[in-house]
Amino acid sequence: MRIMSHPTRHAQLLRRTAALATTAVLLGACGESEAGAPPSPSGKPSVPSCVTSSGDVLADIDGDGRADRVSDPSHTGARLTVAFGAKTGYGKPVGVRKLVGDGGGEKGVVGAVADFDGDGWSDLAVVATGETQGDDAIKPAVAKLVSGPFSSSGRGQHTRNLDLVETRGVSVADYNHDSRPDLAVFSYNGDGVYQTEARLGSKDTGLTDASADSAGYTKYVYSNNPVKLPPSGLSKFYPKCGKADGSG
């Protein structure tokens, strides 16, 4: 109502919103990256990606030509970190709560990194979900796929919202055996039932929507323990690091 009594401010707001929308459309049309994101890459990464014996991925995540280290000792996305390569060694690991941006203060924040669209640059799937509300599943505050290269604040080339329900874990898996990474999602379905779901990697959209699950990958689980996710199989999608990386 207050807005109605200030028509000038209202008009200003409208104009600003329209200007922002125009900017977003223009950015989309030009294929430029999001504000705060690394510049749009001109080709494939100059640093080869690989997986260490401890399961970490070494890859150029932010496109600066230096290898970065992706780690998730939880295997459910809750302890995902990216340590960005610095002049010497790696910087302080950046946790998933920082990578998600808005939503970092939610009860549960989980994320996974893999090249879901197969363009050579690792992408970030990240979900922030509030506290369980009882019988009914809640919607995540944030559920998005950020196309790489992406920055230490989780800004990438473009962002697409994912149609996920109350998500409590994510990992990388290969559901359809095409040796391309898919996203495994552990979520609450309501009435005490949990589920593991697949979002298949896709060249066009990065990850498919739930409606594309005609193969019936969804499995119902009567436990709230996200270790029911398929094991994080990153070694399937990246070659093993050699001794030259100091990680073999």
**Where along the sequence are the contacts to Ca ion (CB under 5 A)?**
60, 62, 64, 66, 68, 85, 115, 117, 119, 121, 123
Instruction: Note if the bond before 149 is cis, omega within 30 degrees.
Output: yes
Q: Give me the least distance between CB of 48 and Ca ion, in Å please.
A: 13
| Minimum gap (Å) between residue 71 Cβ and Ca ion | 15
Cβ at position 137, least distance to Ca ion in Å: 29
Give me the least distance between CB of 157 and Ca ion, in Å please. Answer: 8
Nearest to Ca ion of 4, 244 (CB atom):
244
Query: 31 vs 134, which CB is nearer to Ca ion?
Result: 31
Q: 64 vs 106, which CB is nearer to Ca ion?
A: 64
Output 58 or 141, the one with its CB closest to Ca ion. 58
SS (H, E, C) the chain: CCCCCCHHHHHHHHHHHHHHHHHHHHHHHHCCCCCCCCCCCCCCCCCCCEECCCCCEEECCCCCCCCEEEECCCCCCCCCEEECECCCCECCCEEHHHHCCCCCCCCEEEEEEECCCCCCCCEEEEEEECCCCCCCCCCCCEEEEECCCCCCCCCCCCEEECCCCEEEEEEEECCCCCCCCEEEEEEEEECCEEEEEEECEECCCEECCHHHCCCCCCEEECCCCHHHCCCCCHHHCCCECCHHHCCC
Closer Cβ to Ca ion, 123 or 197, answer by number = 123
CB of 159 to Ca ion, least distance (A): 13
In single-letter form, the type of residue at position 58 comes to L
Looking at beta carbons only, is 72 or 123 nearer to Ca ion? 123
Residue 14 and residue 6: Cα distance in Å, rounded? 12
Task: Closer to Ca ion by CB, 99 or 137: give it.
Answer: 99
Taking the complex as a whole, the smallest distance from the CB of residue 223 to Ca ion amounts, in Å, to 33
> Shortest distance, CB of residue 204 to Ca ion, whole angstroms?
12
Distance of alpha carbon 15 from alpha carbon 242, whole angstroms: 55
